[in-house]
Amino acid sequence: MKVFIAGGTSGIGLALAQSYLQQEAVVAVCGRDLSRLTNHPAYDALIKFEVDVCDRDALAAAVDSFCHQGTLDLFINCTGSYADDVAQAISYEEASAMLRVNMLGTLNCFDVASEVMRRQSRGQIVTIASVSGKLDFPNSSLYSKTKRAAIQVADAYRRALLPYGIAVTVIAPGYVDTTKLRQLNQQDLSKKPFLVSVDDAAQRILKAIQQKEEIVIFPKRMKWLMGFLGLLPHVLLSKIMFRKAKWMKND
């Protein structure tokens, strides 16, 4: 089995890479910074590419190099960019990064992976979105809108790739206890409800991939909460989400 993981140099992506290595799969990861994987024996078996998913040509070259004109069984996109534009103003650079990584990067991953898989008439593409992308209201955050867009893109590719025997799986997790999440919250995750560990998230994702689920939202309590919030009037929902964001910022 050959697995390529974009954003596989940390967090959920790296946990998935390690799990597939344990299953004796051939695993490649790409990211913008490979330094965290150097001089670490546990990662020696990984095939590594320093690639930004916003650069389609570089991503395609990495995938082609990995496949050697052979097969690609599984492509997982774990990349993402986040900035809080609900409780505070964000810069154009932060907004642009979210749009590029979460939308352009997602498109590039689907385009490159599907190009390889259509030639072999099989494969599976997985994208990690966010449970926040399931909330649809005018004043949702830019991050939520980009993740909702990623889910819609995945839905469109699923329909287009169905005749080729290619499965598409969307993962929409709640809060996962990653190093990045801790950095964004000054190491304090006490206000993150229904938090799950990276290993727990990875196991849920592995199961969803194996079963070729179309979309998986976890944990269940977060799924139920998002379902309830989605039933509220947009004006009320906007107020709740704004107060939640301010509370999480200790304002």
Q: Is the peptide bond before 219 cis (omega within 30 degrees of 0)?
A: yes
pLDDT of residue 55: 97
Give the integer Cα–Cα distance in Å for 109 and 169. Answer: 13
Distance CA 25, CA 45 (A): 10
Higher per-residue pLDDT: 187 or 200: 200
189 has a pLDDT exceeding 90: no
Mean pLDDT of 165-177: 96
Owner of token pair 């082609």: 64
Answer yes or no: is pLDDT of 54 > 80.
yes
Of 131, 173, 163, nearest in space to 148 by CA: 131
Which domains are delineated in the chain? 2-248 (3.40.50.720)
Q: Count CB atoms within 10 A of the CB of residue 123.
A: 23
Residue of 91, 78, 134, 82 lying closest to 245 (CA atoms): 82
Rounded Cα gap, residues 65 and 203, in angstroms: 28
Candidates 205, 200, 185, 197; CA nearest to 77 is: 205
Higher pLDDT, residue 75 or 227: 75
Let me know: does 216 contact 172? Beta carbons within 8 Å.
Answer: yes
